[in-house]
Amino acid sequence: MQVQIVYDFHGDGTLVKTETYNYFATDPVTGWELYNETRNISPGFSSGSFANMVNGKITVKIWNAIGNTSTSVLVNAPSNAAQVSKLTVPFQ
């Protein structure tokens, strides 16, 4: 799996910061896996600088970096579920 986060601070494509994280392996066992800051998911490439977010948008891209098998990402688990997807955005 590989992840890229694109911050478009004004929503018009002119002031953008991109972070592409290093590839991280999935295990061969069928079922869900847990990835978080303790699993050593580290930044690989970053361009641009943070700025004030004014009518901006954030795009998270996730893809299978090796092979062509499908990968599912749980993004709508209820807050009382055992594993809840969460993205903490560094803006108020």
Residue 37, pLDDT score: 61
Q: What is the CB neighbour count within 10 angstroms for residue 25?
A: 9
DSSP state of 39: G
Residue 8, pLDDT score: 96
Amino acid at 69: T
Give the span between the Cα atoms of 12 and 9, in whole angstroms.
8
Residue ranges of domains in the chain = 1-92
DSSP state of 9: T
User: Each residue's pLDDT tens digit in the chain (92 positions)?
Assistant: 888 999 999 999 998 999 888 887 777 787 777 766 666 566 778 899 989 999 999 999 988 888 787 777 777 777 777 777 777 776 66
Alpha helices in 1-92 (DSSP H): none
Cα atoms in the Cβ-side hemisphere of radius 13 Å centred on 43: 6
